[in-house]
Amino acid sequence: MAILLTGGAGFIGSHTAVACLNASVDVVLADNFSNSSPKVLDRIEKITGKRPALYNVDVCDKRALRDIFAERFITGVIHFAGLKAVGESVRLPLAYYRNNLDSCLSVLEVMQEFGCKEFVFSSSATVYGDQPAPLTESADTGHCSNPYGWTKFMIEQILKDAAKANPELHVVLLRYFNPIGAHESGLIGENPNGIPNNLMPYITQVAVGKLKQLTIFGDSYDTPDGTGVRDYIHVMDLAEGHLAALGYAEAHAGCEVFNLGTGKGVSVLEMVNTFSSVNGVEVPYIIGERRAGDLATVYADPAKAEQILGWHAKRTVADMCRDSWNWQKNNPNGYDG
């Protein structure tokens, strides 16, 4: 019996694999390595002492998926696989809609063929768009500002409809806030292709000397120090949130949605300063223009996950900074050394 992690070699997938294996939940990984490396498997084995099966497949490919379901007894799926770069989605909307919707539909159809009922989906706080924080799960959705966000919104709708039509389906939608950090071993972490779009990998690449300086995208927002405020969550807390969600999905039919965040807003400047002081490294920065589509303040109300899943984020911003740096400094070129 195993849980299939699509996109299981990626940043959140690999950390969730570790959390599952450490909790004696067997996993099978499926990934096409479009934004990940098969080398992550050795690292997962080093951390957990277990080497899960890893299939090199595109999960849009139903035939390849069927082979996995035929070879393994898959009792549930956590669907991480998907394209996730906001700016790229504006340039390549068709690729985003095709890939993200198709992969989810393929997985759901093959699950149905094999009688597999539990499905946990990687959604995003981006579905809330521009609304006052803290965001509860009952806040309006569908105010996305880019195709990436719309794919998350549309897949949520597909899953709600699928669960309504099939009372045997057990679906959990997880709306992530801003996952950063790395496993405390420093053996696995975030390894973006090219120049990072997101704040923490940009900071760590400046700190390690690969990039010259950070550009802070605006300091005139209506926030305490003028820079953008987000709800950063340690990726191992997030991974443990998936385990809690799997437990919930096992016991509950229907479709339920949970925020996975800390409930605390942290500004860009606070993050840069915490990173420097915790790790004793300088992060040179300049203040630049606002980035198109950015919001001033986004953070979660995480109470529902605490009440119903019994899960809350435990790790601090200092932990996130320490672990992100530990990963980056030991692996300046990601899984290639």
Q: Which CB, 124 or 141, lies closer to ligand UFG?
A: 124
Q: Which residues of 256-287 are buried (b: 16+ CB within 10 A; e: fewer)?
A: bbbbbbbbbbbbbbbbbebbbebbebebebee
Q: Which CB, 143 or 252, lies closer to ligand UFG?
A: 143
Q: Which letter does DSSP use for residue 135 in this model? A: B
Least distance between ligand UFG and beta carbon 116 (Å): 27
Least distance between ligand UFG and beta carbon 221 (Å): 8
Distance from the Cα of residue 271 to its chain's centroid: 19
d(CA 318, CA 271) in angstroms, rounded, equals 9
Contact 200, 211 (CB under 8 A): no
Least distance between ligand UFG and beta carbon 131 (Å): 11
Least distance between ligand UFG and beta carbon 55 (Å): 25
Least distance between ligand UFG and beta carbon 291 (Å): 5
d(CA 34, CA 58) in angstroms, rounded, equals 9
Q: Which CB, 129 or 334, lies closer to ligand UFG?
A: 129
Q: Which CB, 116 or 133, lies closer to ligand UFG?
A: 133
Q: Which residue among the candidates 148, 176, 299, 335 is catalytic per the annotation?
A: 148
Q: Which CB, 209 or 337, lies closer to ligand UFG?
A: 209
Question: What is the helix (H) or strand (E) element at residue 21, kind and residue range?
Answer: helix 11-22
| The length of the chain, given as a count of residues | 337
Q: Which CB, 27 or 269, lies closer to ligand UFG?
A: 269
Residue nearest to ligand UFG (CB): 228
User: Is 148 designated active site?
Assistant: yes
Strands (E), the chain: 2-6, 27-31, 53-56, 74-79, 118-124, 170-176, 178-180, 214-217, 229-230, 232-234, 254-260, 266-267, 285-288
The residues binding ligand UFG (CB under 6 A) are 84, 86, 124-126, 149, 178, 197-199, 202, 214-217, 228, 230, 268, 291, 294, 298
Least distance between ligand UFG and beta carbon 317 (Å): 13
Residue 173's identity, in one-letter code, is L
- C-alpha distance from residue 192 to each of 10, 35, 170, 197, 214 (Å): 9, 7, 32, 9, 16
Residues serving a catalytic function are 148
